[in-house]
Structure 1
Amino acid sequence: MTFVQIIDCKTSRVDDLNRLMDQWVEQTEGKRTATHSIVGKDRSDGSHIVEIVEFPSYDVAMRNSQLPETDRIFREMVALCDEMPTFTDLDVVRDEALYKANARRLMEQLAQEQELALLDEVLAEGYHDHDPTNEQDVIGMDAVRREVEMWRGGFDFAFTVDDQIAEGDRVCTRWTWRGTHTGDFMGLQPTGMDVSMTGTVIHRFRDDGKIVEGWWQYDLLGLMGQLGAVEG
């Protein structure tokens, strides 16, 4: 179970505290077990500092706290603080990565949502789609709907999300696409064949969670080979 520790302190020596944290990162390189760290400053009180540190589990966090470098840095941190820091230990019982969820939701809508107007719920107006299989980028909701209609006209299909990685305002999704060739697709008459392909897409999000840009990579040549359009 993911474990989070919240460190709450007050100090008038914020710059010195930042330098101390830099020293800790440098001196524990290759030993630290934390996976994510966020430091925030209270907008209403510049001396109020909160650090949120994430670990894979409580046991892993304890190994981190037992490092001699961690113990030394903690004592120096206390000396910089106006009062004794407080620690809150939390086992994470719910963790919603909203950008990742919206990326998955888009994949579901592309395949299953009959009313394409609902794409507006996850895509920003002016959405810009980069697809190396298209001669021109797809820009704007009307163009997106035409692209989706082309794929739906050729296949009954669904996506399986195999993996996702989120960093800042971007989410990378690795996916598997499976479909049945039920209609005309790029001039190929329906074969009734079950086909599949794999790919990835990186989506860029704006602050409200809507997707503003996407970069796709997938094995269209392999798909066409399965349909008999090119030699395998």
Structure 2
Amino acid sequence: MTFVQLIDCKTSRFDEMNRLMDRWVEQTKGKRTATHDVIGKDRDDASHFVEIVEFPSYEEAMRNSGLPETDRIFQEMVALCDGEPTFTNLDVVRDEQLNADTARRFFEVLSGQEGLLPLDDLVDEDYHDHDPANDQDTRGRDGVRREMEMWREAFDFSVRIEDQIAQGDRVCTRWSWDATHTGEFLGLRPTGRKVSMTGTTIFRFGGGGKIVEGWWQYDRLGLMAQLGALDDLEI
């Protein structure tokens, strides 16, 4: 994100304006350059609204403004406002996705040489973990710490972040995991084998900025096959 536009207006006809915006979204499909649109209502003045529109650049914002559909909708929007709306054009000089940064830090701590104490700053005390490879969900920060310790004692590994998508109170991370089997894992003695897998984790964040819930998807069966645990099975 490099540019945002703030549109400040007052209206007693917001429902009509909302329908107008729906029409603009429909009419500009495949043409508009806006990437994100948020409208906020003033808690102290129910007629006061601020719209925040995100663009890849100032030039793209101007191209969006030049669309015939945008011009028509703007004229109708002005007619619904109590006075002329004001515009503020902002070049973004800092853009911190705090939840995404916390999720990234989680994986850094997980695969780092330091201990797991930093998890206290990242994971809520009442954290709830969903891992389909486990018989039961893991609950509590201490529970997830024990789960992480099991992996760290069994493997010398690193985690690489491939993609992250943040939306609302959730962050989705696609990761790659490369490891050497150095300790006992689910009854398997250390094999010294090099193994790898990929996975996806969705974290939900609470109001305090800590991770309160997690959902994991990864190929543990494929990992067991790499470790030789399936060699004697007849299929």
Question: 2:169 aligned with 1:158, yes or no?
Answer: no
Aligned to 2:28: 28
Secondary structure of residue in 2 paired with 1:116: coil
Note the C-alpha offset of 1:113: 5.9
The whole-number CA distance in structure 2 between the counterparts of 1:14 and 1:149 is: 53
How much is the aligned-residue C-alpha RMSD, in angstroms?
Answer: 1.9
Aligned to 2:95: 95
Question: 2:137 aligned with 1:115, yes or no?
Answer: no
Q: Which moved more, 1:211-220 or 1:73-82?
A: 73-82
Question: 2:170 aligned with 1:170, yes or no?
Answer: yes
The whole-number CA distance in structure 2 between the counterparts of 1:133 and 1:16 is: 50
CA-to-aligned-CA distance 1:1-40 (integer Å, 9 cap, x gap): 6321111122333333223222222322333221111111
Letter of the 1:32 partner, please give it.
Answer: R
What are the within-5 Å matches in structure 2 for residues 152-231 of structure 1? 152-231=152-231
CA-to-aligned-CA distance 1:139-186 (integer Å, 9 cap, x gap): 112221221111111111121110011122111100011122211112
Secondary structure of residue in 2 paired with 1:117: coil
Secondary structure of residue in 2 paired with 1:6: strand
Q: After TM superposition, which residue ranges in structure 1, 4 or more long, deviate above 6 angstroms?
A: none
The whole-number CA distance in structure 2 between the counterparts of 1:113 and 1:119 is: 14
CA-to-aligned-CA distance 1:34-78 (integer Å, 9 cap, x gap): 111111122222222110001222232222212111101111222
Aligned to 1:60: 60
Aligned to 1:12: 12
In structure 2, stretches of 5+ residues that fail to align are none
Secondary structure of residue in 1 paired with 2:228: coil
The whole-number CA distance in structure 1 between the counterparts of 2:79 and 2:71 is: 13
The whole-number CA distance in structure 1 between the counterparts of 2:174 and 2:133 is: 18
The whole-number CA distance in structure 1 between the counterparts of 2:61 and 2:94 is: 19
Letter of the 2:130 partner, please give it.
Answer: H
The whole-number CA distance in structure 1 between the counterparts of 2:11 and 2:146 is: 57
Secondary structure of residue in 1 paired with 2:177: strand
Secondary structure of residue in 2 paired with 1:158: strand
Q: Which moved more, 1:11-20 or 1:38-47?
A: 11-20
Number of corresponding residues: 232
Secondary structure of residue in 2 paired with 1:149: helix
Secondary structure of residue in 2 paired with 1:157: strand
In structure 1, stretches of 5+ residues that fail to align are none
The whole-number CA distance in structure 2 between the counterparts of 1:161 and 1:105 is: 11
The whole-number CA distance in structure 2 between the counterparts of 1:229 and 1:118 is: 34
Q: Percent identity?
A: 69
Aligned to 1:86: 86
CA-to-aligned-CA distance 1:97-125 (integer Å, 9 cap, x gap): 11111111111122226333331211112
Q: Which moved more, 1:184-193 or 1:160-169?
A: 184-193
The whole-number CA distance in structure 2 between the counterparts of 1:52 and 1:177 is: 38
